[in-house]
Amino acid sequence: MSRRGGLKAELETAIGPVRLSNPVMTASGTVGHSTELARYLDYSKLGAVVVKSLAPYEWPGNPPPRVHPVPAGMINSVGLQGPGLPRWLAEELPVLAASGARVVVSIWGRSLDDFATASDLLASADRSAMEAVVAVEVNVSCPNLEDRGRMFSHSAAMTQAALAATANCGLPRWAKLSATGHLVDIAAAAVEGGAAALTLINTLLGMVIDTESRKPVLGAGGGGVSGRAMGPVAVRSVFDVHAAMPEVPIIGVGGIASGADAVEMMMAGASAVQVGTATFADPRAPANVLRELARWCASRGVGRLDELIGAAHE
C-alpha cells in the first residue's frame, strides 16, 4: 500500500553517539556565537546550533572589507573573528543553553597546542552550561603556522594530529574538512585521529578582483566562496567519502537553501545537514529548510530518514 501523501515523517537522526530530533543545523560562522538570530529562529526547534569557530583566545579577524557577493553565493574573509573560548563559555554559552538549543561548539587554532588548549578549556568548563553542548566541531580548515601556513585539512598527517590533540574535550568530535583532491584520505586520517563524524565541506578558496582598482575586493585578498554555486562540489564530496567509508557519519554542508537540497545531500550519504550562506539572505532559512524537508518526505511517503541516507549509492 502506498504511503504517499499521508505520512508524517520521523526526522530523528543519529550522528554517531549524538541523537538529534531532526537533521537541520546552522553552519558555523553564519549565526554568530550566541542567540543573535533569536528574533527569527526558535533555536530549540533545530537539530542543533553550530556556533562560529572559537580559538582558545580572542582573535580580531581580518581587515575589511570582509564580505562580497558573487553569483549564486558570496566570498568572505572574516578571518575567524571571535571572543575566545573562555569569554564565550562564561558569557554566551549560558544564553544559548537558556534558549533550549542543542549546541555544537566549533573550535580552531593556528597550532596543535591551540587545539589542545581549546580541548582542555572545554573539559574544565562549568558542567551545568556544558549540558547543552552535544558535540565539538574541530575546524581544521584553517592555516597551520607549524606547517608553512598550509591548512591543517590539506594534510592527512596534520588533520590526524589536530583531531588527536582534542581528545581531552570529553565530547564527540566532528572534523570539518575542505574539499581537496585527497579528501577521502584526509577524512580517513580524521577518523583515525578520533573524529566521530565528518562535516563536509568548508568554503572553497577563491578571489574577486575589482577591475577598476585592479586589486582584490577583500581586505585580506582571497577568501572562502560559499552558497548555492558550491552545492555540487559538496554533494560530490559527501558522496565520495560515504562510498569509501559508509560507516562514518557525515554532516553535509554547502549550498543548502531548500528542503530538496537537504534531501539531495542525504541521498549522497549525509545523516544531517547544515544551512549557512542562505541565512544571510533569509535568517529563517534553517527553519524553512526543515519545514520543506518534512513536507518533501510526507508527500513522497518517506517515513524515516534512514530511507534517504545514502540512497544514491543503492
Question: 15, 25, 142, 225: which is the annotated catalytic residue?
Answer: 142
To the nearest 10 degrees (0 to 180), the angle between helices 156-165 and 112-123 is 30
Instruction: State the Cα–Cα distance between residues 61 and 148, nearest whole angstrom.
Output: 19
The answer to whether residues 287 and 41 touch, using CB atoms and an 8 Å cutoff, is yes
Q: Burial, 174: exposed, middle or buried (Cβ in 10 Å; 0-12, 13-18, 19+)?
A: buried
142 is catalytic: yes
The sign of the torsion formed by the CA atoms of 188, 194, 199, 201 equals negative
SS3 151: strand
DSSP label at residue 137: E
Query: How is residue 266 written as a grid cell?
Result: 542525504
Per DSSP, the residues of 64-106 read SP-EEEETTEEEE-----B--HHHIIIIIHHHHHHTT--EEEE
Spatial neighbors of 148 by CB under 8 A, at least 6 apart, are: none
Catalytic residues: 142
